[in-house]
């Protein structure tokens, strides 16, 4: 089965709006780019694409999609149409959703996490129209339950600013009981951080499609290999959006965020194994099944000593990096010395939370880790550097083995109020003479960070060395 369906919600005109702009220029053009990617890039049939737009029935899409109004009735019919299409196809592998328009966030009583709303085409004002919105979380949940197993991707280009206090948004009336005992995984990439506005001339869709057009096409043409993932796409989009003073947000639901159905592609494999006991594996098994992150007895992710011993050049894009000093020291006691290690810790914790830990506590944790790492890395690395940085859309680590040229990447997103050490993750390994586009792109982004960030502490050796592969 290789069934792909799409939903586009594109609201350029708000003819009745009273408190915000009545038009969002470029929204339909952006949606059309996404539609063309679905049709031409993935080969999605017209009858498998639902479009809810304002203005509706754009001539460009006639005969190229099922077209509906971008109001409450239209969204309800779109959900129903997707469920019927899924039943006709016997199941859905991938659902791609692009939603663009005005947006708000609300925090309901008893809920810690704000919820995102998309304002529909006939929305007038917060005091009048609680029923002319759609909860993005609700839409994701209803489709995940109703369509059954598969993976869903939501790309949302809308503001996420706080709604007025007296605003009382209403949920959809459509019911979508689970079609099977299993629900789909549902991931979301948003063009704005929680509590912030999206750029009016957003580069979000262009950056996203640049990644998708390049990497998805390459994966389809190159035969069995690890396909592109949403985590890697987020790094690419974050880099482009950051240049325009914007910040994105990634939310993953489960470990599988491969953009294409698996088919003959190599599966990603689990990333949460206990650290293996016994002697270390030999260097020829450098690309073997040891995950980049292990799990300890508290179900907290930890850097496995095996990989610290095996690899020679490592880059960490972390939160506080509080666990890293202990494992660096353990690997060093085994006789390991590194060619170079670069460590990035967050500069600002205002938007980052962890249960039972204040922002001030996270700052103290980071500072202690940096001090410990500086002492250790001076003793055990030929070269090192410690930096502060802004969150790039996901956390990660990048690994290079000098002798074999093997590279690997670990990616882990930030989830609201979830300890970073417990969030889902994915790993990609690149073997010599068999390039992986996702790994290449991640190393390029790390190189950019190293070149453009001033270290807080370093070995005093050559600074800002690009993390290039040493061919065997």
Q: Is residue 261 part of a domain?
A: no
pLDDT tens-digit map of 314-368: 999 998 999 899 889 888 887 889 999 999 999 988 766 566 678 888 999 999 9
Given a cut of 50, whether residue 100 has pLDDT beyond it is: yes
Asked if residue 258 belongs to a domain, the reply is: no
Q: Looking at the domain assignment, is residue 267 inside a domain?
A: no
Predicted confidence (pLDDT) at residue 217 exceeds the cutoff of 70: no
CATH of the domain at 194: 3.40.50.1460
What average pLDDT does the segment 193-216 reach?
A: 82
227 and 297 in a single domain? The answer is: no
Residues 35, 166 within the same domain: yes
Residues 117 and 186 in one domain: yes
Q: What is the CATH number of the domain that holds 376?
A: 3.30.870
d(CA 183, CA 401): 39
% residues pLDDT > 70 (the chain):
73
Please say if the pLDDT value at position 152 is more than 70: yes
| CA dist 175 → 17, 142, 152, 229, 361 (Å) | 29, 8, 19, 31, 44
Confidence of residue 394 (pLDDT cuts 50, 70, 90): confident
Of the two residues 102 and 173, the one the predictor is more confident about is: 102
User: Does residue 92 carry a pLDDT above 60?
Assistant: yes
Task: Determine how β-strand 338-346 pairs with β-strand 313-317.
Answer: parallel
pLDDT at 461: 46
Range of the domain at 48: 4-251
Pair 223, 334 in one domain: no
Evaluate if residue 220 carries a pLDDT over 60: no
The whole-angstrom separation of Cα 1 and Cα 93 is: 7
Assigned domain for 28 exists: yes
Gap between the Cα atoms of 229 and 255, Å rounded: 10
Please provide the average confidence, as pLDDT, over all residues in the chain.
76
Do 156 and 227 share a domain, yes or no? Answer: yes
Tell me how far apart the alpha carbons of residues 320 and 422 are, in angstroms, rounded to a whole number.
14
Domain count, the chain: 2
Q: How confident is the model at residue 63 (pLDDT cuts 50, 70, 90)?
A: confident
């Amino acid at each position: 089965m290789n069934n792909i369906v799409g939903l586009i919600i594109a609201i350029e005109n708000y003819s009745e709006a009273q408190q915000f702009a009545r038009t969002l220029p470029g929204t339909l053009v952006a949606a059309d780019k996404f539609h063309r990617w679905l049709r031409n890039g993935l080969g999605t049939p017209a009858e498998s694409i639902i479009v809810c737009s304002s203005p509706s029935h754009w001539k460009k899409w006639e005969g190229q999609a099922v077209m509906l109004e971008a109001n409450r009735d239209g969204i309800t019919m779109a959900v129903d149409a997707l469920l019927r299409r899924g039943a006709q196809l016997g199941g859905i592998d991938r659902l791609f959703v692009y939603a663009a328009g005005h947006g708000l966030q609300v925090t309901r009583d008893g809920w810690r996490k704000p919820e995102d709303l998309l304002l529909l085409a006939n929305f007038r004002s917060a005091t009048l129209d609680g029923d002319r919105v759609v909860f993005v979380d609700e839409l994701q949940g209803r489709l995940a339950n109703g369509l059954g197993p598969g993976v869903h991707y939501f790309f949302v280009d809308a503001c996420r600013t706080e709604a007025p206090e007296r605003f009382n948004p209403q949920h959809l009336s459509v019911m979508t009981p689970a079609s099977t005992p299993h629900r789909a995984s549902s991931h979301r990439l948003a063009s704005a951080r929680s509590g912030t506005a999206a750029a009016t001339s957003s580069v979000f869709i262009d950056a996203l499609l640049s990644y998708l057009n390049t990497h998805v096409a390459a994966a389809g043409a190159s035969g069995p290999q690890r396909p592109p993932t949403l985590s890697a796409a987020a790094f690419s989009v974050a880099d482009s959006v950051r240049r325009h003073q914007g910040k994105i947000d990634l939310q993953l639901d489960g470990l599988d965020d491969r953009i294409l159905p698996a088919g003959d592609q190599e599966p990603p494999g689990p990333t949460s194994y206990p650290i293996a006991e016994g002697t270390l594996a030999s260097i020829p098994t450098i690309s073997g099944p040891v995950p980049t992150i292990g799990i300890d007895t508290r179900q907290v992710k930890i850097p496995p000593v095996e990989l610290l011993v095996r690899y020679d050049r490592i880059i960490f894009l972390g939160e506080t990096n509080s666990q890293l000093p202990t494992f660096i020291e353990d690997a060093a006691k085994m006789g390991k010395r590194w060619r170079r290690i670069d460590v990035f810790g967050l500069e600002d914790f205002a938007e980052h939370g962890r249960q039972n830990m204040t922002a001030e506590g996270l700052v103290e944790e980071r500072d202690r880790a940096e001090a410990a790492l500086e002492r250790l890395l001076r003793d055990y690395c030929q070269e090192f550097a410690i930096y502060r940085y802004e969150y790039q859309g996901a956390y990660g680590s990048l690994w290079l083995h000098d002798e074999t040229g093997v590279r690997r990447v670990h990616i882990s997103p930030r989830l609201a109020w979830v300890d970073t050490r417990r969030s889902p993750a994915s790993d990609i390994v690149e073997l010599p003479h068999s390039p992986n586009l996702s790994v290449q792109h991640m190393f390029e982004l790390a190189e950019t960070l190293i070149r453009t960030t001033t270290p807080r502490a370093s070995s005093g050796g050559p600074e800002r060395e690009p993390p290039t592969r040493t061919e065997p």
